[in-house]
């Protein structure tokens, strides 16, 4: 039906035409079917049911059920059910919608959206647009402990960090090998964390276990109110590539008391490309939660297996479907793009600058390398006794850290204060005084020597979880 220059005055059923527009002023007026308007439509009451094809100029007050194709100029007051296909510029000041796809929100001052997708990317349904990622170093950009493509072995039931904030555990007769690599990564990334069995375990014995994990400290986790009726839902997303197809499990624990767990299964069938994984975890309303640990299980014995997608009151690491990644030295597992955020939507990975990521990592671990940048310390030794100097850490650490001297230093005598020649140097020691300061001391065996020394050494500070 094509209407042009027609006026309908409600219940009078009187139709009169005027050139240029169709005006409906009665709340009892209803359009059904397909109406094509070549000029304008002004509806001040009632409902429009059916498809509108063409341009609408003026205000529409009431409900529109159907598709709108063309340009809409004016205000729409009421509900629009169907698709709005606009070939022109749409300016919206207040928007209430369930799903928005491919729409620019420039100029929208108020928007209520359940699921927002722009240019194919999902955006948060709750929480902030920035600082969404609860985890640190999910892009595997910071690795203070090891160089690129340098492997280290994990065995004897030890938790061993490789890239910052991510550690692995291996409790079986084999050896799990970790490596920070820049040879395998998905689009938009440059690094990944790689694990492979250096010594295989074809058959697992009781309590045998291998996994990668991340622990969220209390100050970052307490706001999610787990263990209460207000526990928030969280969504974990990550990118994984492995040549060992099958089911892998990701488990979530309360890392303070270790008596609550939630296991999810991830099926990997594509062994040549990177796989995008999204897991939504309902907040646990019971148990005691101050920290959370996330486990990517690589192998788990049958006595440590449980059911998926339900909260349990113990610590189990996987289901009976979990593959044994440790069964061959040719197996490879790559992980990057790890993000945990509030809500049920997995948004695009939030990249931070390297400086931001490094500063966040240094709350937990710092490696001081002074081999070419000597630290000056005033040392006075009388008959073999030692004194030292106070130095400051790069960042305030989570707690007073453990310290170790990785490489004993070379030493320079900056100034000789007494009339003695040379000095017999013994060892350098480093001890943390608190989460901000540490103490450097060294021995000078030459009795009566007073010197100002500079040390070139490698030492670290560990406040990891």
pLDDT in tens, 448-464: 555 556 666 788 999 99
pLDDT at 111: 57
Q: What is the C-alpha to C-alpha distance for residues 441 and 427, in angstroms, rounded to an integer?
A: 8
Residue 18 has pLDDT above 70, yes or no: no
Residue 307, exposed/middle/buried by CB under 10 A (0-12, 13-18, 19+)? Answer: exposed
Range of lowest pLDDT (255-269, 291-305, 341-355, 446-460): 446-460
Q: Rounded distance, CA 402 to CA 312, Å?
A: 34
Decide which of 120 and 321 is more confident.
321
Q: Would you place residue 24 in the very low, low, confident or very high pLDDT band (cuts 50, 70, 90)?
A: low
Q: 29 vs 211, which has greater pLDDT?
A: 211
**pLDDT at residue 55 above 70?**
no
More confident of the two residues 215 and 81: 215
- pLDDT attached to residue 16: 45
428: confidence class by pLDDT, cuts 50, 70, 90:
confident
Distance in angstroms (rounded) separating the CA atoms of residues 441 and 390: 9
Please give the radius of gyration of the chain, using alpha carbons only, rounded to the nearest integer: 33
The answer to whether 48 and 33 have CB atoms below 8 angstroms apart is no
Q: Spell out the residues 6+ positions from residue 202 whose beta carbon is closer than 8 angstroms to its own.
A: 324, 327, 328
Supply the pLDDT for residue 389.
76
DSSP 204-218: --TT-EEEEEEEE-H
**Domain residue spans in the chain?**
2-90, 151-357, 365-462
Band of pLDDT at residue 391, cut at 50, 70 and 90: confident
Q: Above 80 in pLDDT, residue 36? A: no
pLDDT category at 186 given cuts 50, 70, 90 is: very high
Provide the pLDDT for residue 324.
98
Alpha-carbon gap, residue 235 to 113, rounded angstroms: 19
- Position 113 scores a pLDDT of 58
Average pLDDT value over all residues in the chain: 82
Token digits for 409?
A: 């230093």
Question: What pLDDT was estimated at residue 253?
Answer: 97
Mean per-residue pLDDT for 197-207? 97
- Quick check: 280 and 302 in contact, CB under 8 A? no
Give the model confidence (pLDDT) of 127-179 as tens digits.
Answer: 667 899 999 999 999 999 999 999 999 999 999 999 999 999 999 999 999 99
> What confidence tier does 328 reach under pLDDT thresholds 50, 70, 90?
very high
**H helix or E strand, kind and range, residue 113:** strand 110-118
Give the pairing type, strands 110-118 and 94-101: parallel
CATH of the structural domain 151-357, one choice from 3.40.50.150, 1.10.357.10, 2.60.120.260, 3.30.70.1400: 2.60.120.260
Q: Is the pTM of this model over 0.85?
A: no
- What gap in Å lies between CA 118 and CA 345, rounded to an integer? 13
What whole-number distance in Å separates Cα of residue 161 and Cα of residue 164? 7
- Buried b / exposed e over 388-414, threshold 16 CB at 10 Å, is bbebebebebbebbebebeebbebeee
**Is the pLDDT reported for residue 355 higher than 90?**
yes
Alpha-helical segments (H) within 215-283:
218-221
């Amino acid at each position: 039906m094509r209407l042009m220059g027609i006026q309908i005055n409600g219940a009078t059923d009187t139709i009169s035409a005027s050139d240029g527009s169709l005006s409906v002023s009665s709340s009892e007026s209803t359009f059904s079917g397909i109406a094509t308007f070549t000029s304008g439509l002004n509806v001040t009451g009632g409902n429009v049911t059916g498809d509108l094809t063409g341009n609408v100029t003026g205000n529409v007050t009431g409900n529109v059920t159907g598709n709108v194709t063309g340009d809409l100029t004016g205000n729409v007051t009421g509900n629009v059910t169907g698709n709005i296909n606009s070939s022109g510029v749409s300016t919206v000041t207040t928007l209430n919608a369930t799903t928005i796809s491919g729409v620019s929100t420039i100029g929208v001052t108020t928007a209520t959206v359940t699921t927002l997708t722009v240019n194919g990317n999902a955006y948060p349904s709750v929480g902030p647009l920035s600082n969404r990622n609860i985890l640190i170093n999910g892009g595997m950009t910071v690795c203070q402990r090891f160089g690129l493509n340098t492997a280290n072995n994990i065995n004897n039931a030890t938790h061993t960090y490789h890239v910052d904030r991510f550690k692995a555990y291996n409790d079986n007769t084999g050896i799990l090998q970790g490596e920070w690599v820049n040879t395998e990564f998905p689009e938009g990334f440059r690094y990944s964390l790689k694990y492979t069995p250096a010594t295989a375990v074809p058959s697992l014995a009781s309590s045998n276990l291998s996994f990668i994990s991340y622990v969220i400290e209390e100050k970052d986790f307490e706001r999610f109110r787990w263990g209460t009726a207000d526990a928030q839902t969280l969504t974990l997303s990550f990118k994984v590539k492995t040549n060992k197809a099958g089911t892998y499990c990701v488990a979530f624990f309360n890392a303070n008391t270790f008596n609550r767990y939630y296991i999810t299964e991830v099926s990997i069938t594509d062994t040549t490309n990177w796989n995008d994984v999204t897991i939504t975890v309902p907040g646990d309303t019971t148990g005691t939660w101050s920290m959370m640990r996330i486990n990517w299980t690589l192998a788990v014995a049958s006595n440590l297996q449980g059911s998926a997608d339900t909260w349990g009151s113990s610590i189990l690491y996987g289901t009976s479907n979990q593959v044994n990644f440790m069964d061959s030295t040719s197996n490879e597992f790559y992980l990057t793009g790890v993000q945990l955020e509030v809500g049920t939507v997995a948004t695009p990975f939030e990249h931070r600058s390297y400086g931001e990521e490094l500063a966040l990592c240094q709350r937990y671990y710092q490696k001081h390398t002074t081999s070419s940048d000597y630290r000056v310390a005033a040392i006075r030794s009388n008959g073999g006794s030692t004194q030292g100097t106070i130095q400051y850490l790069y960042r305030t650490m989570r707690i007073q850290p453990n310290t170790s001297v990785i490489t004993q230093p070379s030493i320079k005598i900056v100034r000789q204060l007494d009339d003695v020649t040379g000095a017999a140097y013994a060892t350098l020691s480093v001890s943390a005084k608190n989460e901000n300061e540490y103490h450097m001391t060294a021995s000078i065996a030459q009795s009566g020597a007073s010197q100002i020394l500079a040390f070139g050494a490698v030492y670290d500070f560990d406040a990891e979880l």
